[in-house]
Structure 1
Amino acid sequence: MDLSQSSSDKSVMEISRKKGRDQVGGICDALLHRIKSDDYCGYDPYDALNSSLFSTLGGMRLRMARIAWQQLHRRSPINLRALCAIEKARNPKGIALMVLGLIERFEQRRSNADLDEAIRLGDWLLSQRANPQAWPHSAWGYNFHWAARAFDVPRGKPNAITTCYVARALLGLWRVTGERRFVESALDAGKFLQTLYMVQEEGVFYRYVPGESVMVHNANLWSAAIVALTASHAGDGAACEQALLAARHSAHAQGADGAWRYGERSHHGFVDGFHTGYNLEALSTLQGALATREFEQVVERGMGFYRQAFFEPNGDVKYYASRTYPLDMHSVAQAVITLLRVGGSDEDHELARRVIHRAIERLYLRSRERFVYRQGRYFSNQVNYMRWTQAWAFYALSLYGADAERRTRVAQ
């Protein structure tokens, strides 16, 4: 064996990987600059009901009209929002993702600018909690009225997923700053999530939206994970036990192949990549919070299905298990997060690298310094969505960069 050649090959490979990391870092920098230039405001696939034109025409009075109007804008590859008087705005979940990404960058680079920006955005989140007269515990909702088949949610009404991501951002800020206002609000958010706990004959779970009985696995599992984190910090054993019971409900709903339907309604039978990733990350987080290995086989089975079902050999991330298209940066971002945070093997890190570089090749618009919303087989939807696309991309790229830096330090 030619050892000198082998050493040379390794050096070339390391130089190539360093160039790849530098490219990812440069794109992350450009993306952050672009987002900051808009003051973190943007459009969202589901913001159509913010249209003052639609409201003036009386469309808000008809539920089916609301759903149709929302779907028209979500599916259209042409952005009609400016024509329909829909303004760009900040979204609490999008801001929470930006905070999570900025914390990753701070831990990688130790840049006070990143930390100061994360704190500034964290304080904005604290100012945006749902009306305390209606909701006594800290909670957050979307900045738009949201019409779905299962429920209809007014603008600002809190929901489980937005509250979970904001709580994660606040806990992250507390970890790196020690500032009590962040952890106190996060702990209070955990109490709000506890109010969503529901007992039915079919089982116990956390609701997605207050007052609704819809069971959605990612909302249930992330609520269980955040309740586990906050309740264990507060020493609330009863709430920790409720979190375990709710997680068991979704764990038992996992298919023999490791897949999860989105939820338990008749129209929730689809299996997609980013919700699968949510479920796996939430279960992994819950296990860490409660120091349990109870769901280890569930996670291992789910990760096996996830790796097999949602990745093409070239690094493309599939939206649905049954077909490749559309390619969606939201799916890409959660894939990177799941592979690094839940998987963690050398193979997972290599797959995450391929996924990132394939996404840059196919979904990144260099001239505009942002990512497209979706790439279909024959055309792409390039509407610029802040929460759904750019914030997720920023968080994933930041996490990837920080993880690569940590692995490099360990290797040295």
Structure 2
Amino acid sequence: MTTGRTSSEPSDAGRLSAARPVEGDFLTGLLEDTLRYARERDYTGWDYFDGMSSRLLRAAPVDNKWLNIAVQEGIKRAPVNLRPLFLVEKRQNFKGTALFSMANDTAYDLTGDELYRAEARALADWLIENAAEGYSGFCGGHTHEMQLLDERRGAYVPNAIPTSYAVKALLRAAESTGEERYADVARTATNFVYDELEYRELEGGARIKYQPEYTGEFYTLNCGAIAARMLVDLYDHFGDEELLERSTKLLDYLATKQQPIGGWTYRDPPSASHLSMDNHHNGFIIEGFLRYREVTGSDRHEETIERALEFYRNTLFDPDGAPNWDEDSRFPKDIHAATQGIIVFSMAGDREFARRIVDWV
């Protein structure tokens, strides 16, 4: 799948722009190398949870939950890449495309190379063209099925996580291009959150569903934080007070669910998931609170943030920057946790520890 770059857009042959003020910077070079790798593959690849996309599994004469889990988890956990053997196809991921769009914008800001601006715009357009259909606003989901212990999550079913990252990418595209159409599309995602994810107020704040099909008997805590961050991002762009009010209520409710040691379980009640206070989902929650503070300047959740950061750094990371899996287990080491840690500690002003994580990676 391509991003729609045309022959009139910059090619790799002209990618070394004269405007490149940080030529020797290690991190900029690493970013450029990563984007070159992704660009050469049209931003497609394998996914952490893509085992259900195996053509061999789909051809099996039975459709069984435990067989699905065995294949999915076996592929995910194997020390070598089994996906080619299981005929798992590479696909373009909705959330991943949003991240690549923003990464290309960052590369343009750092280097001045027009190639990155063109790539960022093409990827933002892809998000609009490939948004989920039949819902009340802009939204997106994973491009593969997932088999969980308590559910089978369908491909292309939208949820709060990829939607929020796509909104962030479209807002970034609006800022970088000056084209407000990107922001206008992003704003319609509020309809998805309010209607399809059934935003509702309750004692202590508000909560939403992770995806439309959920019945609401449990609450996936990090999705509330990510949705709150999305509303704050939209508020930062549009200045609509309702966006801020609803974001505040989502975060207020999450503050009531913080555990005494400073972290959050994956779901409420905790028994609704085999995950406990795992690393990267706690990072998502802290990022939501930090973004709210950054935009509003409010100290409303300061105590929550202080306790969360102490738990996050001292329990979910080793002193050398290596991420731990959760509050009880050091392994497996998860690259998602590491990258989220870089974001969180950078936002919190602890750049020394953020760089320590970069060096570990």
Task: State yes or no: 1:187 paired with 2:184.
Answer: no
Aligned-partner residue type, residue 307 of structure 1: R
Give, in whole Å, the separation in 1 of the partners of 2:61 and 2:251.
42
Give the structure 2 partner of residue 70 of structure 1: 72
Q: Is the 8 A contact 1:228 1:243 kept in 2?
A: yes
Give, in whole Å, the separation in 1 of the partners of 2:29 and 2:245.
45
Q: Which has the higher contact order (CA 8 A, sep 6+)?
A: 1
Q: 2:101 aligns with which of 99, 102, 108?
A: 99
1:370-409 matches, within 5 Å, as: none
Give the structure 2 partner of residue 303 of structure 1: 309
How many residue pairs are counted as aligned between the two chains? Answer: 334
TM-score normalised per structure 2: 0.85
Task: State yes or no: 1:30 paired with 2:29.
Answer: no
Give, in whole Å, the separation in 1 of the partners of 2:228 and 2:25.
37
Aligned-partner residue type, residue 299 of structure 1: I
Q: How big is the alpha-carbon RMSD for the aligned residues of Structure 1 and Structure 2?
A: 2.4
Give the structure 2 partner of residue 151 of structure 1: 151
Structure 1 residue 278, shift from structure 2 partner: 0.8
Give the structure 2 partner of residue 401 of structure 1: none
Give, in whole Å, the separation in 1 of the partners of 2:331 and 2:219.
27
Structure 1 residue 110, shift from structure 2 partner: 2.7
Give, in whole Å, the separation in 1 of the partners of 2:234 and 2:333.
35
Q: Sequence identity, in percent?
A: 28
Give the structure 2 partner of residue 121 of structure 1: 123
Cα deviation digits, residues 18-51 of structure 1 (max 9, x gap) = x9x7333333222222221211110012111112
Give the structure 1 partner of residue 58 of structure 2: 55
TM-score normalised per structure 1: 0.75
Residue 322 and residue 161 in structure 1: after superposition, are their counterparts in 2 closer, same or farther (change >3 A)?
same
Cα deviation digits, residues 65-102 of structure 1 (max 9, x gap) = 33332212111223222222221111011111111222
Aligned-partner residue type, residue 46 of structure 1: F
3-state DSSP of counterpart to 2:92? coil
Structure 1 residue 144, shift from structure 2 partner: 0.3
Give, in whole Å, the separation in 2 of the partners of 1:93 and 1:104.
17
Task: State yes or no: 1:170 paired with 2:188.
Answer: no
Structure 1 residue 202, shift from structure 2 partner: 8.9
Give the structure 1 partner of residue 46 of structure 2: 43
3-state DSSP of counterpart to 2:73? helix
Q: 2:266 aligns with which of 262, 265, 274?
A: 262
Residue 237 and residue 314 in structure 1: after superposition, are their counterparts in 2 closer, same or farther (change >3 A)?
closer
Give, in whole Å, the separation in 2 of the partners of 1:291 and 1:51.
48
Cα deviation digits, residues 313-372 of structure 1 (max 9, x gap) = 33322222333322222111111111112x11xxx211122221222xxxxxxxxxxxxx
Give, in whole Å, the separation in 1 of the partners of 2:149 and 2:254.
21
Cα deviation digits, residues 216-273 of structure 1 (max 9, x gap) = 1111111122123335755654454333222211111112221111111413551122
Give, in whole Å, the separation in 2 of the partners of 1:288 and 1:150.
37
Aligned-partner residue type, residue 74 of structure 1: K
Aligned-partner residue type, residue 82 of structure 2: L
Q: Is the 8 A contact 2:168 2:233 kept in 1?
A: no
Q: Is the 8 A contact 1:167 1:186 kept in 2?
A: yes
Give, in whole Å, the separation in 1 of the partners of 2:318 and 2:345.
14
Q: Is the 8 A contact 2:232 2:244 kept in 1?
A: yes
Aligned-partner residue type, residue 80 of structure 1: L
Q: 2:319 aligns with which of 298, 306, 313?
A: 313
Give, in whole Å, the separation in 1 of the partners of 2:26 and 2:245.
45
Structure 1 residue 199, shift from structure 2 partner: 5.3
Greater mean alpha carbon deviation, residues 91-100 or residues 220-229 = 220-229
Residue 231 and residue 269 in structure 1: after superposition, are their counterparts in 2 closer, same or farther (change >3 A)?
same
Gaps of 5+ in 1: 1-18, 360-412
Q: Is the 8 A contact 1:226 1:286 kept in 2?
A: no
Give, in whole Å, the separation in 1 of the partners of 2:330 and 2:275.
18
Structure 1 moving runs of 4+ over 6 Å:
200-203
Cα deviation digits, residues 100-128 of structure 1 (max 9, x gap) = 22222222223222111111111111111
Q: 1:280 aligns with which of 286, 290, 295?
A: 286
1:134-145 matches, within 5 Å, as: 134-145=134-145
Task: State yes or no: 1:242 paired with 2:253.
Answer: no
Greater mean alpha carbon deviation, residues 152-161 or residues 232-241 = 232-241
3-state DSSP of counterpart to 1:204? strand
Structure 1 residue 312, shift from structure 2 partner: 2.2
Task: State yes or no: 1:225 paired with 2:233.
Answer: no
